[in-house]
């Protein structure tokens, strides 16, 4: 469903009132009864249905009459609510072109009133199958029923919190600007994803930097869980920036070592295949030389000095509270 922000210009306050009402009703209803929407919106009955018809025309809501006459928000409707809130806050003033698309998100250029260009990430969980999402996200472990909008909001909140905490600890990440619903506003990273880069001037240096980030994250109590060539940005000076943090888990997670080893293995395989790096010599040189290197010359999870939970205070301060974490585990 394509995001057409031009439609925003033609939506009235009452349109957004009804759209917000549907969002509120979805806290307790998968499909919000039309009568309840009319009641909460406090508009004339005929006016509410007229507005719902307009929202339906623009695909901001979906109509369902299988059990009763009702409506639910679409991702496009959720987009509009988030964008309008961010515009009203003065965070953004313009929405530009789409610059990226992933399995679970869309990325757009946005700009502030003074012309500063930022990036807007809209989380869209549900593009992949539920089984695929559930296998990656431990906060889906205990439920089979859920709202994709709610889960996307949690993913955005988690990414914003982790990005802010990592930035505060000096990690090379985009600057977290603001977050609303399933939308995260961040600084625009100048460069390319590593998967697009065919040649590097100093592949060994970049490799050491990237692997060093995996180790440093673990030392701070975190594992990225999706650390690959798609989530590593590199600029013309071969400066590395890491992105995409909704999958992150603590080093105390029961599968932490598996996630850590998978991130390391992914980087080793990519650099060996793309840039023809050989690691056997490094393994011989480093064998028994450093305590955090295993027999194959790769970082060893069990030997890394870890401080699980060291970012708790920072995460709570940036909006991702213990209650949010508990809610994610219950979903």
Residue in 218, 222, 214, 216 with CA at minimum distance from that of residue 250: 222
- Predicted confidence band of residue 321 (pLDDT cuts 50, 70, 90): low
Instruction: Convert the pLDDT of each residue in 142-189 to its tens digit.
Output: 444 458 898 899 999 989 999 999 998 899 999 999 999 999 999 999
Residue 320 has pLDDT above 70, yes or no: no
Two tokens at 207?
A: 């490799």
User: Can you give the pLDDT at residue 25?
Assistant: 94
CA 136, 138, 140, 143 torsion-angle sign? positive
Alpha helices in the chain (DSSP H): 13-25, 34-41, 45-57, 75-88, 130-136, 148-168, 203-219, 256-275, 280-286, 312-317, 322-330
CA 216, 220, 226, 232 torsion-angle sign? negative
How high is the mean pLDDT of the chain?
A: 85
Q: Contact, 185 vs 91, CB < 8 A? A: yes
Rounded to 5 degrees, φ, ψ at 65 are: -120, 20
Two tokens at 8?
A: 């925003």
User: Can you give the pLDDT at residue 132?
Assistant: 52
Instruction: Convert the pLDDT of each residue in 265-308 to its tens digit.
Output: 999 999 999 999 988 655 555 544 444 555 557 898 888 886 64
Element containing residue 4 per DSSP (H, E): none
Hunting for tokens 């393994």 — which residue is that?
283
Q: What is the pTM of this model?
A: 0.84
Phi-psi region of 259 (alpha: psi -120 to 50; beta: other; left: phi over 0): alpha
Phi-psi region of 267 (alpha: psi -120 to 50; beta: other; left: phi over 0): alpha
Element containing residue 1 per DSSP (H, E): none
Residue 241 has pLDDT above 90, yes or no: yes
Instruction: Convert the pLDDT of each residue in 28-70 to its tens digit.
Output: 999 999 999 999 998 876 899 999 999 999 999 999 999 999 9
Catalytic residue annotation: 226
Q: Contact, 128 vs 102, CB < 8 A? A: no
Q: Contact, 186 vs 162, CB < 8 A? A: no
């Amino acid at each position: 469903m394509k995001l057409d922000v031009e439609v925003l210009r033609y939506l009235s306050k009452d349109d957004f009132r009804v759209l917000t009402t549907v969002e509120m009703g979805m806290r307790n209803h998968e499909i919000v009864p039309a009568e309840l929407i009319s009641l909460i919106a406090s508009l004339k009955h005929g006016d509410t249905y007229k507005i719902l018809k307009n929202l339906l025309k623009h695909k901001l809501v979906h109509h369902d009459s299988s059990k009763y006459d009702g409506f639910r928000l679409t991702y496009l409707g959720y987009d509009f609510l988030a964008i309008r809130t961010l515009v009203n806050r003065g965070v953004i003033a313009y929405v530009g072109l789409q610059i990226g698309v992933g399995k679970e998100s869309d990325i757009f250029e946005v700009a502030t009133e003074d012309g500063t260009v930022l990036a807007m990430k809209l989380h869209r969980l549900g593009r992949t199958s539920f089984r695929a999402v559930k296998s990656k996200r431990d906060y889906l472990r205990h439920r089979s029923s859920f709202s994709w909008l709610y889960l996307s909001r949690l993913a955005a909140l988690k990414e914003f919190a982790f990005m802010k905490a990592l930035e505060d600890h000096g990690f090379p990440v985009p600057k977290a600007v603001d977050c609303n619903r399933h939308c995260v506003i961040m600084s625009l990273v100048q460069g390319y994803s590593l998967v697009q880069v065919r040649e590097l001037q100093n592949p060994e240096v970049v490799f050491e930097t990237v692997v060093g980030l995996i180790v440093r994250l673990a030392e701070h109590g975190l594992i990225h869980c999706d650390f690959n060539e798609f989530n590593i940005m590199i600029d013309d000076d071969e400066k590395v920036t890491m992105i995409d943090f909704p999958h992150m888990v603590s080093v105390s997670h029961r599968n932490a070592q598996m996630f850590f080893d998978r991130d390391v293995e992914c980087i080793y395989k990519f650099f060996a295949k793309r840039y023809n790096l050989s690691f056997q010599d490094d393994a011989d040189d480093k064998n028994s030389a450093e305590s955090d290197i295993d027999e194959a010359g790769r970082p060893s999870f069990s030997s890394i000095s870890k401080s699980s939970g060291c970012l708790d205070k920072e995460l709570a301060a940036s909006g991702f509270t213990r209650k949010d974490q508990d809610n994610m585990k219950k979903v």
